[in-house]
Structures are given as structure tokens and as C-alpha cells.
Amino acid sequence: MLAQFIQELKKTGNLEKAKNLSWFFKTGKGEYGEGDQFLGITVPKLREISKKYQSLDLAEIQKLFDSKIHEHKLSALMIMRFKYEKALRLASLAQCKQIVLFYLKNTKKINNWDLVDLSCHYILGNWLLDKDRKILYKLAKSENLWERRISIISTFAFIHNNQYIDTLKISKILLDDKHDLIHKAVGWALREIGKKDKKREIQFLDKYYKAMPRTMLRYAIEKFPETERKYYLKKTV
């Protein structure tokens, strides 16, 4: 079945779109997505195809993770999410845990922002809703860019359940991060808190705005009224 799936993905690819995606996801030498190859498949189409092959087992999914083709990895994560959500509906905690451990085994192969953002809070974040979250703090201190992004984006599951403490703690850890993709992710997370509890976001901003990279701050205050945005931006000048 895996061979059939890979063949279907290959047939669906579009060369011109693949070139555009390679540029968009920064796959050139020295860029964050260096070495990744693209087939040129849109996310909705990839999801449609992946859904037909969600019975692939973890050994087959591992082969997709081991590929240098971006859509293979993204489809692996889509299938894992399908499997996790089904196990969750069936209250099969053992299977959920197996999928989460498999996810953690492959974090270094989840090597671009879309792979992180379309998977981690649905799988890892959801699993940790009622569990110890120390793994996220370990990931937040990783030398691997994508593991650090997983640490903060996973907390979106907590934010959606009105739990903000870990998002704020991990945001503090990542304040000094040097990468723009982490600045954006942290700002995004703070913005999401602000949609639910603006007071909590403002408390964090007032305490740490001087240490926040400009991009992080801009994302965090994106939904604020113009006067409030100008207030915080002026304070950092």
C-alpha cells in the first residue's frame, strides 16, 4: 500500500508548483529548509489523498519521514493526526500514547514550519492537556530550531482550553532566541492568549517587552487597537 501511496503522490505533483514551494520554504544552501525536495501538491489535495491511506502502519509512516520529499513527511504527519484523532474518539489511550512517542522519536525530521504547525498541537499538545509537560521545556531548550518551535506551538492546545501558564513560561525561555521563525511563533502564541484573556497577555508584555525581538512584539500586538500598538512599539524605540 505504501508504494501505491507514493506513486499516487508522484502522479499528483506539479513541477512548476514544486519550484515555487522550494523557494517559499527556503530550501537553498544555508537556508532553514536546505535539501528538502517538493512534488508540488497543495495541502488540501495532499490531505485528501492521505486520508485514503490512513491505515498505513508506523513502520510505513517511518519510511515517509525518512524521505527527503517534503510532501512525504507532511502526509506522514497528516496520517498520524488521523490515527491519533480516531484513537482519541475510541478512547484508546494506549494507541494515542504510541503515536505521541512515535512523533517525539521523529521531531528532528519535522523540519519545516508547516510540518510543525499542522501537527504538534493536534497530537503532542492534545496528549499533554492532562499530563506532565516537562518534555516541552526540554524541546524549548533544544539546539534544533524545529524542536523549539514544536515546544511553543504545541501549547496552542492548552490555550484553546484556557490554560496559559506553560505558554507564558516557554515564551519567556524563548525570548532570547535568535531565529525569526521562533519570534513569529512566540508572538503568535501570545496573540492567541490575548484573544481569550487580554489582561494576561498585557501582564506579560509589560514585564518583558524590552527583551522581546521586534517581530515577536509585532505579532503579539497585531490585534490590538492602533493606539495600543503604537504605545508598545514606541516604548521599544
CATH numbers and ranges of domains, the chain: 1-128 (1.20.1660), 138-236 (1.25.40)
Contacts of 7 (CB under 8 A, 6+ apart): none
Rg, Å, the chain Cα set: 19
Q: Greatest CA span in the chain, whole angstroms?
A: 58
Helices (H), the chain: 2-12, 15-24, 43-52, 58-65, 70-89, 93-105, 113-117, 120, 126-127, 134-140, 145-153, 156-159, 165-173, 180-196, 198-208, 214-220, 226-235
User: Angle 112-116-122 (CA atoms, 0-180°, nearest 5)?
Assistant: 165
- DSSP states along 204-234: HHHHHGGGS-HHHHHHHTTTS-HHHHHHHHH
- Angle of helix 165-173 relative to helix 145-153, nearest 10 degrees, comes to 160
Instruction: Say whether pLDDT at 35 is over 90.
Output: no
Say which DSSP state 112 is in: S
Q: What are phi and psi of 69, to 5 degrees?
A: -85, 125
Q: How far is CA 46 from CA 41, 104, 176, 178, 224, in A?
A: 6, 23, 36, 32, 35
Task: Provide the strand spans (E) within the chain.
Answer: none
Name beta bridge partners: 69.
Answer: 37
pLDDT range class, residue 236, cuts 50, 70, 90 = low
Q: Write the single-letter amino acid at 183.
A: H
Of the candidates 175, 219, 223, 231, the residue with the CA atom closest to the CA atom of residue 195 = 223
pLDDT of 91-103, one tens digit each?
A: 999 999 999 999 9
Separation of first and last alpha carbons in the chain: 58
d(CA 212, CA 27): 28
Mean pLDDT taken over the chain: 96
> What is the mean predicted confidence (pLDDT) over 75-89?
98
Model confidence over 204-230: pLDDT tens digits?
Answer: 999 999 889 999 999 999 999 999 999
* Mean pLDDT for the stretch of residues 195-202: 97
Supply the pLDDT for residue 30: 86
pLDDT digits 0-9 by tens, 100-148 = 999 999 999 999 999 999 999 999 999 999 999 999 999 999 999 999 9
Instruction: Report the candidate in 160, 150, 139 with the shortest Cα–Cα distance to residue 112.
Output: 150
3-class SS at 50?
helix
Q: How far apart are CA 211 and CA 236, in angstroms?
A: 9
